[in-house]
Chains A and B, each alone.
Chain A
Amino acid sequence: MKIRHHLSDKLLMAYSAGALPEAFSLVVATHISLCDECRARLASYDAVGGAVLEDTPDVAMSSGSLAATMKLIRERAAADVGPSPRAPEPTALGMTETVLPAPVREYVGGDIDAVRWRPLGGGVRQAILPTAKDARVRLLHIPAGVAVPDHGHRGTELTQVLRGAFRDEHDRFGPGDIEIATEDTHHTPVAEPGEDCICLAATDAPLRFNALLPRIAQPFFRI
């Protein structure tokens, strides 16, 4: 997978610092799952976090805190409440390739077959994933050759391509690519002919799809 569009430094640092809404974190974690370059860049930002921690002034622990921690460790060992070993990834077992990277599968509760799609019109389908409400994230399935529903960029919007590709006036976004759009981005993305496009898209502005549904007759897709 040749990835041409990567995460910005700003997003990587915010993810490393733990400052992103859950919906954005999911998109960032998904991109990193697919992109070794951004994985390495994230490791650098985590190293900045390590440097900040190293430089943080001490606050004395209570007396007996080490003993209390050792007790906690023993209790955990006894109860064995540590996370159970994860099931091996299907791909690691040489089984069929999954469409959804692991972080998305966790929210869907399975791979692409487990997604509960809702029609948006024009053959486009979406599935909103359950996250904290400070930002929203959804899977979009756009048939080959169809335009991505226009929803206005009122905040920041991240669109991570999982399968297929879309194009706008400026560029092409293929599997693994992420588009980072701001309020000023005006474009008309269209899924490329040939293969349906599956994306993970997050926005920190309210979704307007639902409000538009009753007025579906009005030009909804800018084709």
Chain B
Amino acid sequence: MAQDADKDVQEMVAQILAVRDRRDEAAFAALFVHFAPRVKGFLMRSGASEALAEDCAQDVMATVWNKAHLFDPSRASVATWIFTIARNRRIDAIRKARRPEPEDLDWGPEPEPDQAEVMALQQDSARLVDALEKLPEKQRRLIERAYYGDLTHSEIAEETGLPLGTIKSRIRLALEKLRHAMS
């Protein structure tokens, strides 16, 4: 698999941490160049007009800045984290609906995440992008349509064919360690 993709995800993590820890505007600008046009495309595919998508994409990126302290590289890639912000904005601004969120886990005093774990999770995420690209066209389109909000819940299929096993167990491992540390 592309080492470039690994390098890219690592670089994005470094950028968001620079925003989080140093309020680094140059790092933010780099994230903006990469993500804002994708978020705009994502929202337009979800049915937003170009003007609304532009406004919402700016709003999403402002939230990335404001909530950078909530980003945890041992739990999500930058793309995943920004996806959740964009999705919530879509539900709120386009569907005009409310989205109940799970109770936050009490993560306790921020332990510095284990670098090997961060690396593994970030690589898994990059591999998932790869796997998605390699799915048969029809299947990939269905998954994309689901995430663009184009399918109802009853239209979403049980089987996606995506290799979620590794990433799932990686996150579960992190959760278990955390619970262990808290008990």
Contacts and interface: CB of A to CB of B under 8 A. Distances in A.
Contacts of B44: 59
Q: Is the interface of B mostly helix, strand, loop or mixed?
A: helix
B53 A14 contact: no
Nearest to B96: A132
B1 interface: no
Interface of A: 8-11, 13-14, 16-22, 24-26, 29-30, 32-33, 36-37, 39-62, 65-66, 68-70, 72-73, 76, 82, 86, 89, 92, 101-103, 106-107, 131-132, 156
Given A39-B102, A92-B106, 6 more contacts: A14-B146, A18-B88, A20-B153, A30-B102, A40-B169, A68-B58
Interface of B: 25, 29, 32-33, 35-42, 44-45, 50, 53-54, 57-59, 61-62, 65-66, 75-77, 79-84, 86-88, 90-91, 95, 97-106, 124-125, 128-129, 131-133, 143-144, 146-149, 151-154, 156-160, 162, 164, 167-169, 171-172, 175-176, 179
27 contacts: A8-B158, A9-B159, A10-B153, A10-B158, A14-B156, A16-B147, A18-B88, A24-B153, A33-B103, A36-B179, A40-B171, A43-B168, A46-B84, A51-B129, A53-B35, A53-B79, A57-B41, A58-B37, A58-B40, A59-B40, A61-B36, A66-B32, A66-B33, A68-B58, A69-B58, A89-B104, A103-B101
